[in-house]
Amino acid sequence: MQLKLLFVLLCFGQLVLGQTKNEKEKRIKLSAFPITAQNIIETLPKHCKRINFYKETDGEKLSFEAKFKYKGKRYSLEFSDQGLIEDLEVLTKFKAVETSIKTRIKDYFKSSYTKHKVIKVQEQYVFDSQFEPSQFITQVLSQDSGIVPNFEIIAEVKANKQRHLREFTFNKDGALLSFKTINPTSYEHVLY
């Protein structure tokens, strides 16, 4: 009986975690951002390059994103529709993830799917309101912030002879927080 209950709970958890992500991203001008977000973007270091601005929707949620390069790394600063910082992500490589975390993530993929291929990895620094927005950004950009990231991983996975493109979020220890299936038509912009 307990085994059946555990199985049902695991299946239900997968349904809750496994929503479909159907993002659409449109390039816009900074002036189309909420004023609060514009003011925060103005505080970015002067050495930021290739700053582009996007409006993003997934059918339910509207957000704004500023993508830029700083000291050779690619960043994505995401804001709510109200102009509040949600997170700051930095593109990284899977091999750069700390070994113990990487091992736990690999173990998850091996135990959950017959095959997997990691396509993209980002460190995700979720905004904490204990910081001022400019202080939070400075801390993350310094790469010596003490702020511990989550890991957002886009991977192609195979289970039950079906392939899926999914976005997984793992916590600082490599434990799965959530995943969403990505609609292949919204995949193009996902690579950066």
The yes-or-no verdict on residue 11 having pLDDT over 50 is: no
Query: Tens digit of pLDDT for each residue in 140-151?
Result: 999 877 889 999
Provide the domain limits for residue 108. 2-191
Given a cut of 90, whether residue 58 has pLDDT beyond it is no
In the prediction, which pLDDT does 20 show? 60
Which pLDDT belongs to residue 13?
45
**For residue 48, what is the domain's CATH number?**
3.10.450.360
Q: At 148, list the tokens.
A: 């511990």
Q: pLDDT per residue over 150-187, tens digit each?
A: 999 999 999 999 999 999 999 999 999 999 999 876 55
Total of domains in the chain? 1
* CA neighbor of 87 nearest in space, from 102, 72, 100, 76: 76
pLDDT at residue number 147:
87
Contacts of 141 (CB under 8 A, 6+ apart): 45, 70, 71, 75
Can you give the pTM of this predicted structure? Answer: 0.83
Q: What are phi and psi of 134, to 5 degrees?
A: -65, -35
